[in-house]
Chains A and B, each alone.
Chain A
Amino acid sequence: MSSLIDRPNAPESEQPEAGTPISTGSEWTFELIQKYDEEIAQCAAEFGLDTYPNQIEVITAEQMMDAYSSVGMPVGYHHWSFGKQFLQTSKGYQRGQMGLAYEIVINSNPCIAYLMEENTLPMQALVIAHASYGHNSFFKGNYLFRTWTDASAIIDYLVFARNYVSECEERYGVDAVEEILDSCHALMNYGVDRYKRPAPISAAEEARRQKEREEYEQRRINDLWRTIPKAYEDEDTVHRRPRYPAEPQENLLYFIEKNAPLLETWQRELVRIVRKLAQYFYPQRQTQVMNEGWATFWHYTLLHRMYEKGLVTDGFMLEFLQSHTAVVYQPPFNSPWYSGINPYTLGFSIFTDLRRICENPTDEDREWFPDIAGKDWLETVHFAMRNFKDESFIQQFLSPKVMRDLKLFAIENDDQEDHYTVTAIHDDPGYRVLREKLARQYNLSYREPNIQVWNVDVRGDRSLTLHHIPVDRVPLGQETDEVLRHVHRLWGFDVHLESVDEGRIVAAHHCPPRNDDAADD
């Protein structure tokens, strides 16, 4: 029986240690969870996983749906979109179409992980290993999280945000608040500083500074707009004027918060709240593959370690492996279940292969990874976890073997051709190209259109002009005009969005729509 199960951490010769299994049934109790957690923590310590303290919360399926529909924020402000998410989740769950996410973990200190009461004991152990030690150590170790988020302050900030929003609702009405939030949500992906490190968020600080901001901001904005718009002068003078902002700005919400002429102070504060949340989630959006891969790699490794120590039974392992296999299943592109590359699979494969490259390098590995082939595997995976995001992680560590295992290939769809072209596959000439293309696919600024604030007609009609810089002639999607309406709501004056390819305007959207714009009917 035991030969079915890998023992990756034990030398070939070593027999399973004669430990006594912690439990044999599949029913969990609080004592057992405690016991498993202690043992998992023990194993995690052996592998040098550095984590925030853990808080494990046992909840019901309904509570899980609640947690699920607030995008994992333990405290959220009220918004219809979360209600929509909730209806969607509960519908799927009631019909049995989907199991609930079997884990939700919050990047906070202590790190909060949810266990569903319906789960069996092996599942609970899996979730503890995955979330409380895998994700947790990622949150604590990865440079993006270290730079951009402050785990100890997030809960407080969420409480602040929730209170602020409901206070506004009381004062200005639910509709008025909802409108602003809708518009902010539409621009949420453009509410982040990609390069600059923001000040850490903290509730107390926010509350204190918020008053200050109120007064200061309004004065500053008044300054910018002090000049009463004059009658139109001739085009040329307008064009020769210096632009405002002098440099294009990528953080649209920040720009709006600071410069939108008509927003009330509380509306600016709402923009800020959405912006801060966007910034908090930004690292997660950039490290999906790594984060899930890391957590999966560790639940796999930790539970196997428990097995080697004789702490869990064969039955436990089989149930665990069944779930694990489902999690890392990658349907091929032509399967009805296919919906893109499974981040769990990709991340898990890369981390697992990193370990293999360290422990059992082949000639190919020595050629491709001279720095790590044969080196200490623990140090290597930790190094990879700490210092990369999805894009650079794939660029750096996706090995030919993983590309072969997953049978990756790249397909080009050019609207000027009447056929698709296979541009690279998992073979010698293809590896590097493929790796580069896949890495780029995880680059957020490639995944999302590049849109920046270009100019404000400060002395004219106060219109805001955004520039979209297309890559490979890819145009903006169907919803663009819809989003532009939201920008217009926040900005308060005309908004233009121009797609500029090599200095030439190739497409333009306007809000309110121009009469000659046939597209905007």
Chain B
Amino acid sequence: MGMTHIVDRRLNGKNKSAVNRERFLRRYRHHIKKAVSDAVQKRSITDIERGEKVSIPTRDIEEPIFHHGQGGRQEVVHPGNQEWVAGDTIPKPDGGGGQGQGQGKASPDGEGMDEFAFQITQEEFLDFLFDDLELPNLVRKKLKDTEAFSYVRSGFTTQGVPAKLDVVRSLRGAHARRLGLGGARKKKIRGLEAQLAALKSAPEELDPAFSHADQINVLEEEIARLKANVRRIPFIDEIDLRYRQHVKQPKPATSAVMFCLMDVSGSMTQMHKDIAKRFFILLYLFLKKNYKKIDVVFIRHHTSAKEVDEEEFFYSRETGGTIVSSALKLMHRIIDARYSPAEWNIYAAQASDGDNWNDDSPVCSKLLSERILPLVQYYSYIEITPQDHQMLWYEYEKILAQFPQSFAMQQIADPADIYPVFRQLFERKAA
């Protein structure tokens, strides 16, 4: 027959639906953002390596069409009759549901409200997470690359982009090729030229029958042909081109420690803490991109500081006053004991609503500038409050003037303000 055409399509793209999937996520971004937001509250800040399950009420994603409702007189044919004969009646169950009312249509306002659940990838998860942080795309992308690579030279290849062309190599190849292709002919030309010279220098024969003119003509033509041949060998050909080859290699790994300091006194609400958490996540992601091993230390404080686990850090509440210096002192002790600046890159992020006992703020300033900042790569302070600054802020401003390279501070009223702080950090590292 031979009419059938069998095609192997397995190597064709499999992501034909990617755009449609993206359209779906786009349309339901509100639902997804909420799911992501909820998920962030439940997750540890170091647990951002996976996607998330998102549920949307089926009702919200239904595509409505005209269809018959319930009521009137409806008749349906079913298979599998067991005992009934025509005319039999079956009492309706209370509430009107039950068989015979068409199949499978969950009532849109009843218990049949199913959830449409699906999984988003880690990348999509981060996308939605960063959404209200107003991160520029470039930064988003950088953060989502989970592995850091650098390119290293690894020999030469015959294919590549012009920018990677190695001129010396290519010309060397071309030279060899020209020799290879033209050498024999050039040798022959030299031989013929010698013959020609001999003929020309020979005494002229008087008898035209013995004249060398014909021979000379033949030789000259042959030489011209060979020379043309040689000329046709290209000076440089595509096969001569050599490109420098680069391969990806993971960057050498180093370690970093990240200190999260947060005020947990009564004035810090859950909203404050959620904003702080996002900031910490961002910092963590950034560090993760640059360092192979990252330790995270959580220090919370009110009038006294304590090293705690993440759960306690974000979710337990305390009351009472605020002494920021207690946390700084504890941080310094921990650095001394566990994180020698020679081996560790030290980062710190402090979140607070700006409250501090006024007497304590100069102490903080002193601690930071004399003991902590010399040890750390970067120290960032975010003040989560829409209100006027208090003493601590002004003290910190002095530090900012002193250490513009390793200190950043920012007032944050809503999540969109987080990024500018972060950007300073990012720019510094990128430079």
Contact = CB atoms under 8 A, between A and B. Distances in A.
Interface of A: 30, 33-34, 37-38, 41-42, 45, 53-60, 62-63, 65-67, 69-70, 78-88, 91, 110, 117, 132, 174, 178, 182, 185-190, 330-335, 338-341, 406-427, 429-430, 434, 437-438, 441, 447-449, 451, 470-480, 482-483, 486
A407 B81 CA distance: 5
Nearest to A42: B1
Given A70-B17, A188-B65, 12 more contacts: A41-B4, A53-B3, A56-B5, A56-B7, A69-B20, A81-B24, A190-B66, A334-B80, A407-B80, A408-B77, A415-B70, A474-B71
A415 B78 contact: no
A91 B119 CA distance: 8
Given A178-B23, A339-B104, A418-B92, A449 B66 contact: yes
A101 B62 CA distance: 23
Which of B14, B15, B17, B117 has the most A CB atoms < 10 Å from its CB?
B17
B10 interface: yes
B69 interface: yes
Interface in B68-108: 68-82, 84-92, 99-101, 103-104, 107-108
Which of A53, A185, A451, A478 has the most B CB atoms < 10 Å from its CB?
A478
A426 B82 CA distance: 11
B86 A423 contact: yes
Nearest to A86: B17
A430 B75 CA distance: 14
B71 A415 contact: yes
B27 interface: yes
Contacts of A411: 75-78, 90, 99-100
Contacts of A189: 65-66
Contacts of B25: 83
A202 B78 CA distance: 42
A477 B86 contact: no
Interface in B37-80: 61-80
A413 B4 contact: no
A341 B79 contact: yes
B89 A422 contact: yes
B21 interface: yes
Contacts of A427: 85-86
B63 A448 contact: no
B74 A55 contact: no
A60 B79 contact: no
B12 interface: yes
A475 B102 CA distance: 14
A288 to B, nearest CB: 15
A53 B5 CA distance: 8
Which of B62, B72, B80, B81 has the most A CB atoms < 10 Å from its CB?
B81
Contacts of B16: 63, 66-67, 70
A302 to B, nearest CB: 14
Which of A82, A110, A185 has the most B CB atoms < 10 Å from its CB?
A82
A185 B62 CA distance: 12
A423 B77 CA distance: 10
Contact of B22 (A83, A339, A429, A476): A83
Contact of B5 (A55, A331, A408): A55
Contact of A420 (B71, B100, B104, B117): B100
Which of B61, B68, B79 has the most A CB atoms < 10 Å from its CB?
B79
The 10 A-B residue pairs whose C-beta atoms are closest, nearest first, are: A332-B80, A83-B24, A473-B72, A83-B20, A474-B72, A479-B64, A482-B64, A333-B78, A409-B81, A66-B16
Contacts of B92: 413, 417-420
Contact of B90 (A70, A80, A419): A419
Interface string B104-129: 10011100000011110000000000
B338 interface: no
Contacts of B89: 419-422
Given A132-B4, A473-B73, A91 B86 contact: no
Nearest to B53: A91
B14 A63 contact: yes
B26 interface: yes
B72 A472 contact: yes
A18 to B, nearest CB: 23
Nearest to B14: A62
Contacts of A429: 86
A423 B73 CA distance: 12
A80 B24 contact: yes
B69 A58 contact: no
B8 interface: yes
Which of B20, B103, B109 has the most A CB atoms < 10 Å from its CB?
B20
Contacts of A67: 16
B13 to A, nearest CB: 8
Given A63-B10, A438-B77, A407 B82 contact: yes
Contacts of B119: 91
A251 to B, nearest CB: 14
B19 interface: yes
A476 B67 CA distance: 6
Interface in B278-313: none
B9 interface: yes
B128 to A, nearest CB: 16
23 contacts: A41-B3, A45-B1, A57-B6, A58-B8, A65-B17, A70-B16, A78-B20, A83-B17, A83-B25, A332-B82, A334-B80, A335-B80, A341-B79, A406-B80, A409-B78, A414-B74, A418-B92, A423-B75, A438-B77, A447-B68, A472-B74, A478-B107, A479-B64
